[in-house]
Amino acid sequence: MNWDWEKLQEKRQRQSGGGQGPGPGWTPSGPGGDPVGESLKKLRNLKFPAGKAIIGVLLFLWLASGIFIVEPAEVGVVLRFGEHVRTVESGPHYHMPFPIESVYKPNVMEIRRVEVGFRSVDRNTAAQQGGVRPVKEESHMLTGDENIVDVQFIVQYQISDPVAYLFNVTQQSWTVKNAAEAAMREIIGYNQIDNALTEGKTEIQNRCRDLLQNILDRYGIGVRVIAVQMQNVHPPREVIDAFKDVASAREDRSRIVNEAEAYRNELLPKARGLAAEVVNQAQAYRETVVRNAEGEAARFTAVLEEYNKAKDVTRKRMYLETMEEILSNPEIEKIIMPDKGLSGIVPYLPLDKTVRTKKGGE
pLDDT tens per residue across span 90-116: 999 999 998 899 999 999 999 999 999
Residue spans of the domains in the chain: they are 55-107, 111-119+131-236, 254-327
What 3-state class would DSSP assign to 148? strand
pTM higher than the cut 0.75: no
pLDDT at site 25:
45
130-152: per-residue pLDDT in tens? 578 888 889 999 998 888 899 99
pLDDT number for residue 123: 58
Which of 188, 179, 174, 173 has its CA nearest to residue 218?
A: 179
HSE (side-chain half, CA atoms, 13 Å) at 276: 6
Instruction: Give CA separation, 317 vs 248, 306, 322, 329, in Å.
Output: 87, 11, 8, 18
223 sits in which H/E element: strand 223-234
- One-letter identity of residue 300: F
pLDDT at 22 over 50: no
Rounded-to-10 torsion of CA 191, 192, 196, 198: -130
pLDDT-derived band at 48, boundaries 50, 70, 90:
low
- Rounded Cα gap, residues 190 and 188, in angstroms: 5
The CATH class of 111-119+131-236 is alpha beta
Neighbour tally for 140: CB within 10 Å = 15
* Position 360 pLDDT exceeds 60: no
pLDDT tens per residue, range 243-278: 888 878 988 999 999 999 999 999 999 999 999 999
Cβ-contact 156, 226 below 8 angstroms: yes
C-alpha–C-alpha distance, residues 92 and 317, integer Å:
130
Give kind and range of the element (H or E) at residue 362: none
pLDDT digit string (tens) for 179-229? 999 999 999 999 888 888 888 889 999 999 999 999 999 999 999 999 999
Give the bridge partners for 101, in sequence order.
80
**Residue 23 pLDDT more than 60?**
no
Task: At 146, give phi and psi (nearest 5°).
Answer: 60, 40
DSSP character string of 86-124: EEE-SEEEE-PTTTTEEEE--BSS--EEEEESEEESSTT
CA distances from 205 to 197, 220, 230, 248, 346 (A): 12, 22, 7, 26, 108
Instruction: Identify whether the C-beta of residue 119 lies closer than 8 Å to the C-beta of residue 133.
Output: yes
Strand 118-120 to 83-88 pairing:
unpaired
Contact by Cβ (8 Å): 183, 123 = no
pLDDT, position 246: 83
Side-chain-facing half-sphere of 178: CA atoms under 13 Å:
6
